[in-house]
Structures are given as structure tokens and as C-alpha cells.
């Protein structure tokens, strides 16, 4: 597993844990404004990181294919 994939997996796991904690708090205390804002911010951050990692992965794949083509010629 590449470092990028491992980082992405760890980030997804951390966000899953965060969402589970937030959901647990919501069930026991109800959703307050700060928790709702924090959850929204975490989800927006996750979406931005996911978009960036997808772009980086795509660029790395393209670069690897170009390098393989150069090495084969």
C-alpha cells in the first residue's frame, strides 16, 4: 500500500471515529449549534482532502505510466 493510500485510509478511519463520537453525543444530548458547526466543518475538510488525494493519485498514476513508457523504449 502506498503512503498516499495509507494516509487516506487513516484519515477516513479518523473521520469515521469522529462521526461516531458526534453521533453518540447527538443521541445523548441533542445537537447543539457548536457540534453541528464542527461536524459540518469536518465533513467539508474531508471532502476537500478527498478531492486533493484523488487528484494527486491521478497525477501520480499518469506520471508512473509515462515513466514506464520511457523505460520501455
- Output the pTM of the full model: 0.51
Q: Which residue has the higher pLDDT, 28 or 15?
A: 15
Per-residue model confidence (pLDDT) at position 2: 81
pLDDT tens for 37-73 read 888 898 899 999 989 999 999 999 999 999 999 999 8
Domain boundaries, the chain: 3-72
pLDDT of 7 > 90? The answer is no
**Sign of the C-alpha dihedral computed for residues 31, 35, 41 and 47 taken in this order:** negative
d(CA 21, CA 42): 13
Q: Are 14 and 22 in contact (CB under 8 A)?
A: no
Give the count of beta carbons closer than 10 Å to the beta carbon of residue 8: 19
Contacts of 8 (CB under 8 A, 6+ apart): 50, 53
Amino acid at each position: 500500500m502506498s503512503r498516499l493510500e495509507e494516509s487516506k485510509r487513516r484519515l477516513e478511519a479518523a473521520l469515521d471515529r469522529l462521526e461516531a463520537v458526534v453521533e453518540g453525543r447527538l443521541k445523548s444530548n441533542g445537537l447543539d449549534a457548536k457540534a453541528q458547526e464542527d461536524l459540518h466543518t469536518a465533513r467539508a475538510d474531508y471532502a476537500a482532502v478527498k478531492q486533493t488525494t484523488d487528484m494527486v493519485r491521478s497525477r501520480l498514476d499518469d506520471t508512473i505510466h509515462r515513466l514506464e513508457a520511457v523505460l520501455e523504449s
